[in-house]
Structure 1
Amino acid sequence: MTHLTFCKPIGSALLVSALALCFMSPITAVAQGVPNVDRNRLESELRREALSRAEEQEERQRLDRERRQSKRQPDISAVPLTGPQGGPCFTINRIDLKGYERFGYLPKGYYRLLGTCASLSDIIAVLNDINSHYRDLGYITTRAYLPEQDISDGSLEIVIIPGQIEGFVYAGGKQADRRIKAAFPTKRGKLLNLRDLEQGLENINAPRSAKGKFQLIPGEKPGGSFVEVNVEDGRRFHAGLDVKNTGFETTGIAKTTANLGVDNLLGLNDQLSFALTTTPFDDRAEKYADSVSLSLSVPFGNWSWSGESGASRYYFILPGINQSYPVRGRSHYLTLSAERLLMRNQTSKIFAYGGLKLTRTQTFIDGHEIESQRRSLTIGSAGLRGEHAIRAGKLHWDIGAKFGLDAFSAYVFDKSIVDPEFRLIKARVSYQQPLAGTNLRYKGTLVGQYSESILPGTEQFSIGSWSSVRGFHEDTMYGDSGIYLQNSLEWTAMKRPDFELTFSAGLDAGYVEPSKLRSWSQDYLVGASLGAKMKFHEKVSLELRVAHALSRPTRNPPNSMPAFEASRTVGFASLTMEF
């Protein structure tokens, strides 16, 4: 075990007094004798740890959401009506349309027969147009037909039989249980809409262990159908292990995450996940960074409810001129969120979401709390997001707002310049497109944030990491507003059932708006990267990347943040295993 020897020890009371006097906001407490460069280093380390935890949590939630998105079941085909060509025609002076009332509006196209001499094939074409109209809206079992009639008097009657649900059953005849009732945003007696069935199928397939599909069975009434759901459930428990070098020299570079998940614990297509992250390869007497989280997500029709709670702690030694300072930090958070599907069609989905997050953080030097670093924040969020299929490409967008609330014992040190009731707007757009005729795929992500508030560290915008501008790790640029663009070109060199090899190249750029509090010799970063990823049997993946900083702050003008001094070239390695 390493023993620390303090050359000039001072008393606890003196230390606390010195911390309060010398450490200005946002770090307003540090011992006398620690030079400005070390105060800056402590501020940088604390902010970097906070930003890293916030980014990892956001990235984990986004990946979980993407994993829950199932492949759309193909539309159920319908055979158009046909009839003999030619034949006698009849002048149509009036059209009586019946059965459309449940939809609340008239279908398109039927009126084009008015004032024309229509043959049977012309009338059948209109019926097909009406059926196509409803089909495009998702009402795939709604049909228009001609009752027996005499149209020689110039009047035509068209009857629409609305397709409706007569019930849900499992394959094999088992009656629907709460799992099915919770999954589908519709019920017996409602109009049958394919979009509702697709949404229910996605909810059933949300757990990793579930593979579901459905088919329609003719009902007992005209237009009626039973929805037969066939679900194949695999192992409910799943586990994983992830090792990667995204940590920092101060608290440990190699981070290991073990996770455990349980599907359908409540029988509502729910997912319960537990994750533990630590730095196991470092001497814990010198440094460590640990975190633990527990999350639960429950889809319910067009809604999705989720909650997550977690805690983290870290420890490192801050060297000084005359003595070293042991620094400890801990934080806790609780997040509750809800999301609702607003619109869905064949190619697009739009959601609205909102949430509430409570965070509590504390920092200690030599066992004494730095009061100015105590944060009790209550953060609300709301926004819209969408998913769109554009030919072979996929477009995802998200625009939302975050705002600090004076609720649930929110607290910020009185002399802190941080605004606890901050406001910010953040937007994210990502697009991926395979290049026709090749094994290449383009992926682009554009992220921007704007705020006129002085934000707490966890809500600041930062660039210079593997998730923003690649080519940076120990050095980052941060502020209240900014934007970055990440571009990647991927090449699938080999793809077999038991092995997949992908190479990638990237070019990124980002900008942070300078402020009176902080600015660098330049306000932008540019970086490039190369990488390779291997997958084995869909259970093990190994990813290796290298990135280089093409442009970064290299000068130290007066009243500016220090120039970037870490290596211009950084590497990334990740090993992921699923059990």
Structure 2
Amino acid sequence: MLMALCIASSASLPGVAASAQLNPVDLRAQEFERRTREQLEREQRLRLLEREATVQSEPAAPLPQSSATEPCWQIRGLRLTGNTLLEPARLRTVLQSHLSACMGASPINQLLAALTALYVEAGYITSRPYLKQPPEDGQRLDIVIEEGYLESIELADPDLPVSLRGAFPDMLGRPLQLRELEQGLDQLNRLRSVDLTVDVLPGQQPGASHLLLRPRSTAPRLSSSASYNNRGTEATGRHTALLNLAYDSPLSLNDFISVSASTSLGDSHRYSRSQGIYYTLPYGFWTLALSASQAQYRYGIALPSQTVSANGQAHQYGLALNRLLWRDQHTLLNGNLRLSTKRSQSYIADTYLAIQSPSLTVAEASLNLLKLADGIWNANVSYAQGLDGLGADRDSRRESRDLPRAQFHKYRVDIDYTRHNPTADGVWNSQLALQYSPDPLPSLEQLLITDHYAVRGFRLAALAAANGAVWRNTLSLRRHLLGQLQISPRVGVDLGWSQYLKGADIQRVGGASVGLALNHRTWQVDVDYQRGLFGPALPIKERGFWLMELSLHL
């Protein structure tokens, strides 16, 4: 779910070049847009893995046991026909391990069951072998593979606003493949308001199958949330209000749309505001995603003789194409290609700051792995490259080689691990972000080191760099109170390492936090105390501070 952004302080730590200092919009807007978009995608994928089994078919019959007294037939070889789906070598291995010179009914049934299991293992859950004719002494065993085909797909509730064609493209008339079936269900069940299970039933024709999709539960298609927090900056205002609206399948194509907005509260002469929209459209193993966001800010800078105004805005548009590459019961592997344009405009006293106003076009390729194994693992590996098209700045026009590059190269790794301890009702979460670039990066592409979503405990100064690492660790306990009320105390310790560019000085920071969350089905209150533990000499002395957030889910 998209959330609106909170604006960062414009102060920078020593050692960060003036040309790359953070303005109050760019980097946190970029980081928040990326984080909330990836969080939405991760929650949808995780919801799919954690669902109960959604494919219901008849259980396999137990393998028959051989009897020493049952009669057997002298078999002179075997002929297998009808296979178009599996490699012949795989079938030969199974046949050789079960075939013998004299076979009774039980060994023959075991052979047929082994062939069935081979097809099921490959995902063809409705393919079945059978004997073309009864076995006879001195004759070949003649086995035919009925690979079957999907005859029809039906919704038990035809009023559901979903598209079966978009979820199960090109499946009719072909052998039923479990992975294609599960992916189609995933594309439907990724919507919060949809929870479907499927029955695999016999079709009207021999060898045909019929899919019946039944809703297990329903929820409203429209959802909304509102929140208030004090995570803003001193310059643009600490207090921020956020609103988000999400709607499932607005075009009845299994699509999803989310719209968000935020604004600082208080003085109208200083503000930070943002708006964003996110839309996804799935089709089979593919998902198309569109995103757009913008942010505006204004605040005053006190000079010895006067106060001048600083203001600016940022725009970002993205187009992404995602494909499921591999899956099993506990794992999802996705590939993603993304093209985005990013524009920033910054002014002080109505003077345009060209260096702090990059125009970028970025192509990014990434792999995402989500796995349930002794906890929840989520890993993302990406490579991003700045392009010179679609109105982007050109490196050939830079006044100095030390200035940030628009045609950059950047590598990033994000790993998130969550482990639940059911005995103590505790949760440990560890997050690691690593980034490397051989180039001086624009502020929009740097790794944010100090922030509420990075190293906690710093809000008067912002630290970011082309190369760096952030390691966050949080331990929380969950206790149920009255009814649906839940309390969760927590502690956190974070470490950060940064290098503005290759060869520059290395800076290290550490922070800690202690917090408490009260959760209900429709609301949440979160209180957090943060304090920096160590770091480089700061231009402004940083002390511990309290943060608070109130959220309502409607």
TM band (smaller chain): 0.7 to 0.9
Contact 1:274 1:294 in 2 (8 A): yes
After superposing the two structures, state which structure 1 stretch, 52-61 or 545-554, moved more. 545-554
Let me know the Cα RMSD of the aligned residues: 3.0
| Cα 1:39/1:510, change in 2 over 3 Å | closer
Q: Distance in 1 between matches of 2:107 and 2:440?
A: 68
Q: Are positions 1:304 and 2:287 aligned together?
A: yes
TM normalised by structure 2 equals 0.87
| 1:253-302 superposed Cα distances (whole Å, 9 cap, x missing partner) | 1221112223222110112221111102x2122x1101111222111111
Equivalent positions of 1:111-130 (< 5 A) are 111-115=96-100, 117-130=102-115
Aligned to 2:381, what secondary structure does the other structure show? strand
1:222 aligns to 2:206 (yes or no): yes
Partner of 2:499: 513
Give the aligned residue type for 1:217: L
1:574 aligns to what?
Answer: 549
The equivalent residue for 2:258 is: 273
Aligned AA (1:577): L
2:306 is aligned with 1:320: no
**1:543 paired residue among 526, 550, 553:** 526
The CA distance in 1 between the partners of 2:131 and 2:477, in whole Å, is 55
CA distance in 1, matches of 2:408, 2:449: 21
Q: Which amino acid aligns with 1:83?
A: P
Q: Is 2:419 the counterpart of 1:433?
A: yes
* Higher RCO (Cα < 8 Å, 6 or more apart): 2
- Give the aligned residue type for 1:59: R
Indicate which of 276, 282, 295 corresponds to 1:293: 276
Q: Does 1:80 align with 2:55?
A: no
Paired residue for 1:383? 366
CA–CA separation in structure 2 for the residues paired with 1:156 and 1:55: 65
Q: Work out the CA distance in 1 between the residues paired with 2:102 and 2:172.
A: 42
* Larger CA deviation: 340-349 vs 429-438: 429-438
Secondary structure of the structure 1 residue equivalent to 2:366:
strand
Give the whole-Å Cα distance in 1 for the aligned partners of 2:429 and 2:509.
20
Name the residue aligned to 1:95. 78
SS across alignment from 1:431: strand
Q: 1:166 to 1:470 in 2, by over 3 A?
A: same
- Within 2, Cα distance between the matches of 1:336 and 1:283? 36
What letter matches 1:76 in structure 2? Q
The separation in 2 between residues aligned to 1:94 and 1:482, in whole angstroms, is 66
Select 2:152's aligned residue among 148, 156, 167: 167
The percent identity for this pair of structures is 24
Q: Distance in 2 between matches of 1:496 and 1:100?
A: 60
Query: 2:292, 2:317 within 8 Å by CA — same for their partners in 1?
Result: yes
Where do residues 157-196 of structure 1 align in structure 2 (5 Å cutoff)?
A: 157-171=142-156, 174=158, 179-196=163-180
Aligned twin of 2:451: 465
Amino acid at match of 1:187: M
TM-score by length of 1: 0.84
Of 254-263 and 91-100, more deviation after overlay is shown by 91-100
Aligned pair partner of 1:65 in 20, 41, 44: 41
Deviation at 1:303, TM superposition (A): 0.9
Specify the code of the residue in structure 2 equivalent to 1:330.
Answer: Q
Residues 420-477 of structure 1, C-alpha deviations (whole Å, 9 max, x = no match): 1001011112222223533123222221111001101011012122222222233333
* Corresponding residue of 1:401: 383
What is the aligned partner in structure 2 of residue 51 from structure 1? 27
Residues 306-344 of structure 1: CA deviation (Å, up to 9, x unaligned): 111222110111112222221011111211111011122
Q: Shift of the alpha carbon at 1:505? A: 2.5
Matches for 1:438-449 after TM superposition, within 5 Å: 438-449=424-435
Structure 1 residues 403 and 547, CA, compared in 2 at 3 Å: closer, same or farther?
same
Contact 1:185 1:302 in 2 (8 A): no
Equivalent pair of 1:336/1:357 in contact (CA under 8 Å): yes
Letter in 2 for 1:492: R
Match for residue 323 of structure 2? 340
- Alpha-carbon deviation of 1:42? 8.6
Match of 1:250 among 208, 230, 235: 235
CA distance in 2, matches of 1:45, 1:489: 33
Q: CA deviation at 1:517?
A: 8.5
Q: Which one-letter code corresponds to 1:474 in the other structure? A: L
In 1, the alpha carbon distance for the partners of 2:114 and 2:195 equals 35
1:553 aligns with 2:553: no
Question: Is structure 2 residue 217 aligned with structure 1 residue 235?
Answer: no
Please give the secondary structure, in 2, of the residue aligned with 1:130: helix
Three-state SS of the structure 1 residue aligned to 2:184 is helix
Following the alignment from structure 1 to structure 2, what is the Cα–Cα distance between the partners of residues 101 and 436? 47
Instruction: Say whether the 8 Å CA contact 1:167–1:187 is kept in structure 2.
Output: no
How many angstroms apart in 2 are the aligned matches of 1:474 and 1:175?
Answer: 53
Amino acid at match of 1:64: L
5+ long unaligned stretches in structure 2:
1-9
**Aligned residue in 2 for 1:212:** 196
How far apart are the structure 1 equivalents of 2:143 and 2:483? 53
Equivalent runs, 1:346-361 vs 2, <5 Å: 346-361=329-344
Whole-Å Cα distance in 1 between the matches of residues 255 and 225 of structure 2? Answer: 19
CA distance, structure 2, for counterparts of residue 37 and residue 202 of structure 1? 46
Aligned AA (1:399): V
In the alignment, the residues of structure 2 paired with residue 194 and residue 290 of structure 1 have an alpha-carbon distance, to the nearest angstrom, of 47
Greater alpha carbon shift after TM alignment, 53-62 vs 185-194: 185-194
Q: Letter of the aligned partner of 1:194 in structure 2? A: L
Helix, strand or coil at the partner of 1:152: coil
**Cα deviation, residue 38, structure 1:** 12
Structure 2 counterpart of 1:10 = none
Paired position in structure 2 for 1:528: 512
1: distance between equivalents of 2:74 and 2:365?
Answer: 57
Q: How many residues align?
A: 530
**Offset at residue 565 of structure 1 (A):** 2.5
> Matched residues in 1 for 2:109 and 2:434: separation?
53
2 CA distance for matches of 1:218 and 1:65?
35
Q: Which moved more, 1:152-161 or 1:298-307?
A: 152-161
